[in-house]
Amino acid sequence: INRWDLQKLDPAAKVSPPKNAIIFHMEKTVPVNLRPIVRAGIEEWNKAFDKLGFDNAVEVRQQRDEDTWDPEDVNYNTFRWITAEAGFAMGPSRVNPLTGQILDADIIFDASFLRSWKTSYENFTPSAVAALLDLEQPIPTKGPALFGSRRHHHADCRLNEGMQHQSSLAGAVFAAQGLTAKRGELPDEYLQQALKEVVMHEVGHTLGLRHNFRASAWKTLAEMDDPAKANEPTVGSVMDYLPVNIVPAGTKQPVYYTTTLGPYDHWAIEYGYKTVAGDENAELAKIAMRSGESGLDYSTDEDTETNDPDPLSNRFDLSKDPIAHAQRQMALVNSLLPKLLERTVENGEGYQRARQAFGVLIGEYYKSAQFVARFIGGVMVHRDHKGDNQARPPFKTVDAAQQRAAMKQLAEQAFHAPKYDPASLNSLSSTNWRHWGVPRSSLDRAEYPIHKTISDFQEAILGRTLNHLTLSRIQDGEAKAAAGEDVYTLPEHLKSVIESVFSELTAPPAGEFNNRTPYISSFRRALQRTALKRFADIVAKPRQGQPEDARVLTRMYLNELAAKIDAALGKGDLKLDDYTRAHLTDSRLRIKQVLEAETEDFGKPAGGGGGGFFIFGAEAEPRTRNLEAIAPEQP
């Protein structure tokens, strides 16, 4: 931890003011009505310093009109306010590299997130969602991503960007629930809590704290929603990225965001700033020993990248049971989408708010599913040391029951489209502004691309469930389990994915279908094609590191699927529509191609995307028996 040189004025006293307090100068740019909230967010940290015997370690001073100091002056820590949609909140803090002493910190606070509407969300694409949350991208990434694809740098704080999204989500939900008097306006309590939470977070960085993305997994939803506990922290640390907690209509709304420091924050400040009289190392070791205790869980940026295995380490997830939270979010979206149009647009207005709300809500639906998908092949990661209080081993495979529950939820919800009113899609138009200061719209298409949106989201989810890392982790989990322990095996997983994606073939009914109401819907046909491409890659273009068993199992299950397709196509009492018949005939042919194509490179992985060939898609090359002609590049 980098830290300020904070010493007691009277080291012997139990409680003493500091020799030099950490003083934040609040610039006069901060709106007058919001100053008390900003002040409260900064001073909140005194609660942690109080416990260590510091009286007023952190001080806030208001800049006056006659003050002449320069905010860039290294002698002043400043809190500056902008609304540039620049999407950042943390300014540089200057640290002595030899000692880790923090010398100066300036918070440049972008308050754009206090507004609920943002024009660029009119094109809230699956890749934008993935970039925002560092989740699996739909492959290949198509179209301009809203946030670029830059990686999270360890010192980077992108909370504001995400909070902008949360405020848009909150605005969309409130509007669609018919809760706000003026549409799109966020209630005062929301604004106050969101602002205080972001201030606490950014000030936490300037005190030396890093992100803690596991902090939101401390409590259950029921504990967070408990009105009797409204003044208690809902999460272990304000250093997480927190989503807005909105409960379904008819339930009493709890706090939207945590309102106070969590146990992890107190603990980290104790470690960094406690005045130690005797053996400092021994005292620090004693503090660190508590790492296994409830509320102190920690994981940071480098544990929370796309391929990381811990399903509880996420940006903007919520609760000890993210599967339950996802269920709640998906139900919320299903309940709101059908009423969206009437509630978000007033007479005399354009329809852009409906478009934003639709995009943000459908994004919420599949974002929730992506968190669920992370449980499959998931591994809980802990940093406890041997002998710590309540120490856990560094790695623990996610329980088989939980992996199964995750798979079941994907099958029942993520592999289907959310409920929406088809006619409302014809009203999802976007803003037509073109002038300076307004980012150029990046819409590929003016009208809403419903099929592409849903299929891209589902592609990202299938990508997570079927990528080589997930498959290896599942199989490794088998070898790491104790004898007799219930295990989610690779065969169970692959079979579950194939059967849920192609569930229409399990027991096809008798009857007649037509092209207007096809037996397999357009969304499901797209899902099945995407899945078949993934399976083809597993069999014929295995990635380095993919278990060989995944390849041979997939072959076997594809054979079984082919038999089911034959049975459905040949079923006398089932009259299929053209769409379904064409789709199944094509799928059947593709499976045949995959099963025949593979065999030569027996046991030899094609390498991470290099060389190889594509069975489907525009890049398809004919399979050749001439090995030199293939010459895959080996890494």
CA atoms within 13 A on the CB side of 426: 2
Tokens matching residue 442: 């990046």
Note the residues at the interface with Zn ion (CB under 5 A).
Answer: 157, 159, 213, 216, 240, 317
Question: In 3-state terms, the chain is what percent helix, strand and coil (to 5)?
Answer: 45, 5, 45
CA-to-CA distance for 357 and 608, rounded, in angstroms?
A: 38
Q: How far is the CB of 201 from Zn ion (least distance, A)?
A: 5
Quick one: 134 or 225, whose CB is closer to Zn ion?
134
Q: How far is the CB of 598 from Zn ion (least distance, A)?
A: 40
Dihedral over Cα of 263, 269, 271, 277: its sign: negative
Q: How far is the CB of 365 from Zn ion (least distance, A)?
A: 19
**Which residue's C-beta sits nearest to Zn ion?**
157
Q: How far is the CB of 552 from Zn ion (least distance, A)?
A: 38
Quick one: 257 or 358, whose CB is closer to Zn ion?
257
Quick one: 21 or 200, whose CB is closer to Zn ion?
200
In this structure, which amino acid lies at residue 421?
D
CA-to-CA distance for 327 and 344, rounded, in angstroms?
A: 24
Q: CB of 205 within 8 A of CB of 154?
A: no
Quick one: 44 or 122, whose CB is closer to Zn ion?
44
Q: How far is the CB of 82 from Zn ion (least distance, A)?
A: 17
Q: CB of 355 within 8 A of CB of 429?
A: yes
Q: How far is the CB of 213 from Zn ion (least distance, A)?
A: 4
Q: How far is the CB of 313 from Zn ion (least distance, A)?
A: 7
Pairing of strands 102-110, 90-95: antiparallel
Q: CB of 150 within 8 A of CB of 333?
A: no
Tell me whether the omega of the peptide bond preceding residue 138 falls within 30 degrees of 0, making it cis.
no
Tokens matching residue 68: 């002449």
Quick one: 147 or 213, whose CB is closer to Zn ion?
213
Burial of 512 from C-beta contacts in 10 A (0-12 / 13-18 / 19+): exposed
Q: Within a 10 A sphere around the Cβ of 135, how many other Cβ atoms?
A: 23
Quick one: 94 or 451, whose CB is closer to Zn ion?
94
Q: How far is the CB of 449 from Zn ion (least distance, A)?
A: 31
For the chain, the distance separating the N- and C-terminal CA atoms, rounded to the nearest angstrom, is 39
DSSP-derived secondary structure letter, 508: P
Quick one: 260 or 300, whose CB is closer to Zn ion?
300
Quick one: 197 or 317, whose CB is closer to Zn ion?
317
